[in-house]
Structure 1
């Protein structure tokens, strides 16, 4: 029997996100939209609606439709001297399935995996459940949660099979810059180690300019074939409800191995999900959709920054540069860091504001921290922070 740890962040969300009247600033998706909203964003009225209701609902294209895989391959080919083929993309049921499937395929007993931490628990708990040894590559606040290659070099062993990163990072919102990614790729290439980059929040780099020399490219575009990128329509594209994600790699043997293993699991993705995802990634829709979400992220991170500034004696952070999440520390002026688990429960009970306790969901070293998902609808964030501000000024001073 496989032993796997409880998935703390998902269990917390499941337990509390349906609380009546909740002001949810725990959610990590950019504010979700409907299919009608998606159609309204389309800049070409001649494009057919995203769902062809006359099409028979067979299994569809087992690896994902040509249209969807072509569009994803084009995203990875941008700014790259080497175009990616659609055959190097495999469609999955969300990024969570993408990550599980590739770990299930590539990692097992006798392997060693290095994973950045904190990050989404799946990325280190699943390898452990499969019998691999896992070392955590700690991200440090004093380094602004950017991975340190010197730290990595002390962790890698002769049997290290995979290095796992998450860029932009959940929960810190930190981005790993291009120079660090390039150094990581060079190191992994020397050691023949696979790199998995969970890029589910890409391309939502709200505080890094695309013109910046350190703007992070996808891990696939740095000249090393043994790299894997996973992503989904959930976070940066606001379409969690279609459960559509993907695995991309320039190493076709990796894609083929994962596709073979998937025959035992989901077989294919729903045709309906595939159609909506393909529509959303069309040139006539994608730019408007990402523009909407980038504006939302920029607006909301500024609102959260103002809140933290106004309550600087109580809360602090390293300002995120990408993604939808921030790691915020709360302290009582007289007694220090709060008990974040109890604090989250008390805040929810007294204000209806919901966020995630970091010590429970990301490790005991994050006592006093909470994860806030700030790319919700702006009025929700404003209302939540107003209620939260009144509560903490009353109880933590």
Structure 2
């Protein structure tokens, strides 16, 4: 029987998000309605053809949708991605699962970027693989050391897993680092699986830099996989639509074959909505809205961290929708689980505790993950409630005991 660890962050969200008054744990950009999407699209007619028969539709995703997804990967430094290089899935979580299920087996060794979304290391472990956590450095802005990667490689290493932009820190792996990782993978004939679900929300990078970090598919190495979703940067979590992209046709075929044993295809309505959202001018208008929302809300969050710098510290996120903030007293981390429980109980503000949801209990003590791209009102009201807790209740939060 396959044994898999409880998915801690999803369990936390499931237990608490429906009761939160101020949900600052959400990782998606503020959701939009179909009416909103129609405005972004500049259309006067309905997005959906109500006369269309609801059959399975195109099993791998419609040509229109896969072409629009492929355009998200367009780059001046690589060949255009083709529609055939994309497999549409039921969310990025299925995309990740299918890719890992297909590529990883018993006695394989996997190296996984850390901290990250638990699925990326717990699923390989459940499949019988040995997983080594490649820890990013908080002192170095949550960056990775490629020398560490080289020292971790074993004769049975099969796969390197990345998350760029990174959940929960909002850090970004730079082009130079990605190039070094690709060269290591090429030398050892390893697959690189990169969860890029927060692309292209690079809202806070240095504007003097010539371009945003590229996708992992941009480096001319065939054994690379990118997974993505409509949930995070595109505000449409409710349609449950994601994808796997790769320039390796054999991999795409293998993923499609494995997917036949799960949910076969996405719904035609979901496919239609996603295709419309990723078409022009909707995609440009939607992303611009989310860039602005992320920047404004992040400035508000930064003001809070500065105001309470005696207890709160962070590395300011460069991209995505999440921040990882550490709370301490006298240099010692607070009990982040108790902190989150009391904050939710007393003021209705929801965070995610780092030690429970992103570590083994000792990792990330005192850290909380904050989702900072909800509606403006949610962010402002949530931070005001948080400030009240910091003044009236924070002193009762205990320290985290090892």
Task: Name the TM-score class by shorter chain.
Answer: over 0.9
Structure 1 residue 127, shift from structure 2 partner: 0.3
CA contact 1:162–1:196 (8 Å) conserved in 2:
yes
Range with bigger deviation, 202-211 or 314-323: 202-211
Which residue of structure 2 lines up, in the alignment, with residue 282 of structure 1?
279
Matched, 1:385 2:355: no
CA contact 2:199–2:233 (8 Å) conserved in 1:
yes
Which residue of structure 1 lines up, in the alignment, with residue 37 of structure 2?
38
- Separation (CA, whole Å) in 1 of partners of 2:211 and 2:284: 23
* Structure 1 unmatched runs, 5+: none
What root-mean-square deviation, in Å, do the aligned CA atoms of Structure 1 and Structure 2 show? Answer: 1.3
CA contact 1:178–1:214 (8 Å) conserved in 2:
no
CA contact 1:171–1:326 (8 Å) conserved in 2:
yes
CA contact 1:233–1:239 (8 Å) conserved in 2:
yes
Structure 1 residue 320, shift from structure 2 partner: 0.5
Structure 1 residue 152, shift from structure 2 partner: 0.9
Cα 1:183–1:214 shift into 2, 3 Å: farther
- Separation (CA, whole Å) in 1 of partners of 2:77 and 2:211: 16
CA contact 1:177–1:214 (8 Å) conserved in 2:
no
- Separation (CA, whole Å) in 1 of partners of 2:332 and 2:144: 27
Matched, 1:89 2:74: no
Cα-to-partner distance string for 1:84-122 (whole Å, 9 max, x where unaligned):
111110000000000001111111102110001100000
- Separation (CA, whole Å) in 1 of partners of 2:131 and 2:302: 35
- Separation (CA, whole Å) in 2 of partners of 1:209 and 1:18: 37
Matched, 1:109 2:106: yes
Which residue of structure 2 lines up, in the alignment, with residue 343 of structure 1?
339
Which residue of structure 1 lines up, in the alignment, with residue 52 of structure 2?
55
1:157 to 151, 154, 163: 154
1:128 to 117, 125, 128: 125
Q: Specify the SS of the correspondent of 2:73.
A: helix
Report the number of matched residues. 393
Which residue of structure 2 lines up, in the alignment, with residue 249 of structure 1?
246
Cα-to-partner distance string for 1:180-208 (whole Å, 9 max, x where unaligned):
01111111111110001100000001111
- Separation (CA, whole Å) in 1 of partners of 2:247 and 2:216: 10
Matched, 1:178 2:191: no
Cα-to-partner distance string for 1:338-366 (whole Å, 9 max, x where unaligned):
10001100000111000100000011211
- Separation (CA, whole Å) in 1 of partners of 2:78 and 2:128: 38
Cα-to-partner distance string for 1:273-298 (whole Å, 9 max, x where unaligned):
00000000001200000000000001
2:293 to 274, 277, 296: 296
Cα-to-partner distance string for 1:322-345 (whole Å, 9 max, x where unaligned):
000000011234x73110001100
Moved over 4 A (4+): none
With normalisation by structure 2, the TM-score equals: 0.95
